[in-house]
């Protein structure tokens, strides 16, 4: 068994691994992240193994299941090295062709390449694909290159070199100073400088201290932490060990939600492998530094991502926040100094130690350094995980990487910062992403959620949706959050149902102010954000709902009606056949009419009416026109002769 006793032994072992690897030998990397597995990656991996065996290529080609590169909507993803040929939506049936064409003849299988939805061009290599091209992948870049279950793969790409450097050549204070100099800010929420947090713990008198990974990732739609935990667990572990060394802690914890079974499995395996290699445990790399790591599974409550609730849960009690009279880096887990950082924050630490704080501070804005991973979803052409330098504009993220808004729709807003984030409108698309920039715009960075909304989205309904989520996730311990959010949700729901009244906006503002001022934890304090930001930029939509009973986006069911324009209806019968409520009356050559009493406003008729007719319209804030008289409903098609 390998046991690395010094930093030099680590380096020579790395060289030994590299010497056994031939960089020119074809390697087929198949994403084995949860997204691709859900789309059939396991079968694809098995098919590759079987085909390689059948064709007698086992000695000539490597295959591996890797971490998620972020483009899950196009999974299963296969990358063939050394050429870096990328194939998307690969099935087990495609495998024989890939082997016989690409591996044997060096030919590309055109139909499996990425086809740009905007330009229609096909791209062979990752670097040619619009989704990846404008990204700067410092943290995520190794996900697709390594088998996340192999410590040797991590070592081959320079893994644990930062740990060797820190333990072999730097004092704990030097490590701390490097992280402080980098101005690394927490990637999980508030953007607090990591170095300052670490320093507070280090200086705290209590000798037993803890370092913790916040891998709770409760934001709906966010999966950047999961991708790292599943895809490159050693990078987070390495950061955690370095952090432990810097602050004088000998015990670390991963707090992972139990809904992430693959992440839990891969982290446990990474810990076991690191222990076997002597990178965890007693006297790591001969430095005299001891460090142990435990994994704790959370039950998946959103509030348990909050620092004090997380620590209470780790202690084995109900995960409820507690007042922060003293910061948790001084009095945290079991009342001892505890540094809690997000997954992505920890994963940045080895990069900073390896490449130096000066490298890190070259990237980003004045106050936000490095890169940030966002989960780009919603009404956007390319969805997935994107890692960009801080300071990139929202416009570039949405249009250059995301490929813009699909179906010819107009952009309306982008919601950033998770459920308690805010919505940013079109006239601020040139805003540079950064902690302070987003906060000034009334939103926040949060952990990196980015939901794009198009013209069909009702902003009052967006606020209602997120406040509902937060109401349900409130732990209920403090009144402003528990009762205040419930009331905000009730009023917002009424507005979307057309029952809004004068004074509602003012009442919502008062409730929001109270929640911000008086809630116990940041869940309640930030929860009014979805309302406040939509009110700031889309007040006219609130007023239209309340005063005119009109939903300008034509989205709120209770405020819209569907109507068939008799001048456009060609009596094709499609809407009549598809209407699940049997609310449409019509017949052959008979203009169709919607029975407003029976209509459930599901929108099926609107969707199925052929675009060339465009007979079904949505209206709001105005009465539905009276149906035309029965005798006028027959369509008499004129013959060509007559019409001349
Ligand atoms: C309700 C709530 C949920 C949170 N959920 C998470 C989470 O899932 N992951 C995370 O890293 N931080 C979360 N945070 C932020 C943490 O409280 C804390 O600020 C963060 O883990 C610190 O790490 P960082 O400085 O590296 O960002 C949450 C905060 C609140 C108020
Ligand atoms: S899981 Fe495969 S690309 Fe994300």
Residue 575 forms beta bridges with which residues?
Answer: none
Query: What pLDDT does 127 receive?
Result: 87
**Model confidence over 127-181: pLDDT tens digits?**
899 999 999 999 999 999 999 999 999 999 999 999 999 999 999 999 999 999 9
Give the helix/strand (H/E) hosting 152: helix 151-156
User: What is the best residue among 305, 435, 477 to mutate for testing ligand 1's pocket, by most ligand atoms within 8 Å of CB?
Assistant: 305
The vertex-612 CA angle with 606 and 616, nearest 5°, equals 25
Omega of the bond leading into 198 within 30 degrees of 0 (cis) = no
Q: Return the closest-CA partner of residue 527 out of 469, 607, 586, 445.
A: 469
Q: DSSP E strands: which ranges in 513-559?
A: none
Ligand 2 site, residue 321, Cβ cutoff 6 A: no
Query: What pLDDT does 637 receive?
Result: 61
Least distant ligand from the CA of 86: 2
Tokens 């407003």 sit on residue = 596
User: What is the best residue among 187, 188, 476 to mutate for testing ligand 1's pocket, by most ligand atoms within 8 Å of CB?
Assistant: 188
Asked whether the predicted pLDDT for residue 492 surpasses 80, the reply is: yes
**Model confidence over 91-105: pLDDT tens digits?**
999 999 999 999 999
First to last CA, the chain: 92
Tokens 């309340």 sit on residue = 546
DSSP for 211-242, written as a single string = EEEEE---STT--HHHHHHHH-HHHHHHHHHH
Residue nearest to atom 15 of ligand 1 (CA): 189
Give the pLDDT band (50/70/90) at residue 582. very high
Residue nearest to atom 3 of ligand 2 (CA): 72
Cα-to-centroid distance, 387 and ligand 2 (Å): 14
Ligand 1 site, residue 521, Cβ cutoff 6 A: yes
Cα-to-centroid distance, 18 and ligand 1 (Å): 38
- Kindly give the number of the ligand 2 atom that is closest to the alpha carbon of 74: 3
Least distant ligand from the CA of 197: 1
Rounded Cα–Cα distance for residues 213 and 307 (Å): 10
**Model confidence over 603-630: pLDDT tens digits?**
999 999 999 999 999 999 999 999 989 8
**Alpha-carbon distances, residue 248 vs 86, 243, 291, 513, 581 (angstroms):** 44, 8, 10, 41, 67
Ligand 1 site, residue 303, Cβ cutoff 6 A: yes
**Model confidence over 352-361: pLDDT tens digits?**
999 999 999 9
Find the mean pLDDT for residues 33-42. 94
**Model confidence over 286-330: pLDDT tens digits?**
999 999 999 999 998 999 999 999 999 999 999 999 998 889 999
DSSP for 404-436, written as a single string = --GGGPPEEEEEESSTT-EEEEGGGTTPBPSHH
Residue nearest to atom 30 of ligand 1 (CA): 306
- Kindly give the number of the ligand 2 atom that is closest to the alpha carbon of 71: 3
Give the pLDDT band (50/70/90) at residue 190. confident
Query: What pLDDT does 19 receive?
Result: 96
Contacts of 288 (CB under 8 A, 6+ apart): none
Ligand 2 site, residue 231, Cβ cutoff 6 A: no
Ligand 2 site, residue 605, Cβ cutoff 6 A: no
Rounded Cα–Cα distance for residues 269 and 291 (Å): 17
Rounded Cα–Cα distance for residues 126 and 79 (Å): 8
Ligand 1 site, residue 329, Cβ cutoff 6 A: no
**Model confidence over 435-454: pLDDT tens digits?**
999 999 999 998 899 999 99
Handedness of CA 8, 14, 18, 20 (dihedral sign): positive
Contact 101, 49 (CB under 8 A): no
Contact 67, 148 (CB under 8 A): yes
Rounded Cα–Cα distance for residues 544 and 538 (Å): 10
């Amino acid at each position: 068994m390998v046991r690395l006793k010094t930093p030099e032994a680590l380096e020579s072992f790395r060289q030994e691994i590299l010497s056994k690897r031939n960089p020119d030998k074809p390697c087929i990397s198949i994403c084995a992240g949860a997204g691709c597995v859900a789309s059939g990656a396991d079968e694809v991996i098995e098919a590759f193994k079987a085909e390689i065996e059948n064709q007698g290529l086992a000695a000539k080609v490597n295959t591996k299941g890797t971490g998620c590169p972020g483009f899950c909507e196009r999974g299963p993803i296969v990358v063939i090295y050394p050429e870096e040929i990328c194939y998307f939506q690969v099935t087990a049936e495609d495998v024989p062709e890939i082997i016989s064409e690409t591996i044997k003849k060096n030919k590309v299988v055109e139909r499996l390449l990425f086809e740009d939805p905007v330009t229609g061009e096909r791209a062979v290599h990752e670097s040619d694909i619009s989704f990846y091209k404008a990204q700067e992948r410092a943290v995520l870049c190794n996900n697709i290159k390594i088998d996340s279950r192999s410590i040797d793969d991590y070592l081959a790409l320079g893994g644990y070199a930062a740990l060797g450097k820190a333990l072999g050549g730097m004092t704990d204070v030097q490590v701390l100073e490097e992280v402080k100099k980098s101005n690394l800010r927490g990637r999980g929420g508030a953007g607090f400088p990591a170095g300052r947090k670490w320093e507070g713990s280090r200086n705290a008198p209590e000798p037993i201290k803890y370092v913790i990974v916040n891998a709770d990732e409760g934001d709906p739609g966010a999966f950047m932490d999961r991708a790292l935990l599943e895809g490159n667990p050693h990078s987070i572990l390495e950061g955690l060990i370095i952090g432990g060394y810097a602050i004088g802690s000998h015990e670390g914890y991963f707090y992972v939600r139990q809904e992430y079974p693959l992440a839990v499995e891969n982290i446990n395996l990474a810990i076991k492998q690191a222990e076997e290699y002597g990178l965890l445990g007693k006297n790591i790399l001969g430095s005299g530094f001891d460090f142990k790591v435990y994994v704790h599974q959370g039950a998946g409550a959103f509030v348990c991502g909050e620092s004090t609730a997380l620590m209470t849960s780790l202690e084995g009690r109900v995960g409820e926040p507690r007042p922060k009279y003293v910061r948790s880096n001084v009095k945290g887990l079991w009342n001892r100094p505890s540094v809690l950082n997000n997954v992505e924050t920890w994963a940045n630490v080895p990069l900073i130690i390896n490449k130096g704080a000066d490298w890190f501070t070259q990237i980003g804005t004045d106050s936000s350094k490095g890169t940030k991973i966002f989960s780009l979803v919603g009404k956007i052409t390319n969805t997935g995980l994107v890692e960009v330098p801080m300071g990139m504009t929202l416009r570039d993220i949405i249009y250059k990487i995301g490929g813009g808004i699909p179906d010819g729709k107009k952009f309306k807003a982008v919601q950033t910062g998770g459920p308690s984030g805010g919505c940013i409108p079109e006239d601020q698309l040139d805003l540079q992403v950064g902690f302070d920039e987003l906060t000034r715009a009334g939103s926040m960075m949060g952990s990196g959620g980015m939901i794009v909304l198009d013209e069909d989205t009702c902003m009052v309904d967006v606020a209602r949706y997120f406040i509902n989520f937060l109401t349900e996730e409130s732990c209920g311990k403090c009144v402003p959050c528990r009762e205040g959010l419930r009331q905000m949700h009730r009023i917002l729901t009424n507005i979307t149902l057309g029952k809004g009244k004068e004074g509602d906006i003012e009442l919502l503002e008062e409730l929001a102010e109270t929640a911000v001022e008086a809630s116990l934890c940041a869940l309640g304090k930030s929860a009014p954000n979805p309302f406040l930001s939509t009110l700031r930029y889309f007040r006219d939509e609130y007023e239209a709902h309340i005063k005119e009973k009109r939903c300008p986006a034509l989205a709120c069911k209770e405020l819209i009606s569907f109507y068939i324009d008799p001048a456009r209806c060609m009596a094709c019968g499609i809407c009549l056949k598809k209407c699940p409520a049997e609310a449409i009356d019509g017949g052959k050559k008979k203009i169709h009419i919607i029975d407003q009493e029976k209509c459930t406003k599901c929108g099926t008729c609107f969707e199925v009416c052929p675009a060339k007719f465009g007979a079904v319209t949505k209206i709001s804030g105005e009465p539905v026109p009276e149906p035309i008289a029965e005798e006028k409903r027959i369509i008499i098609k004129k013959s060509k002769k007559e019409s001349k």
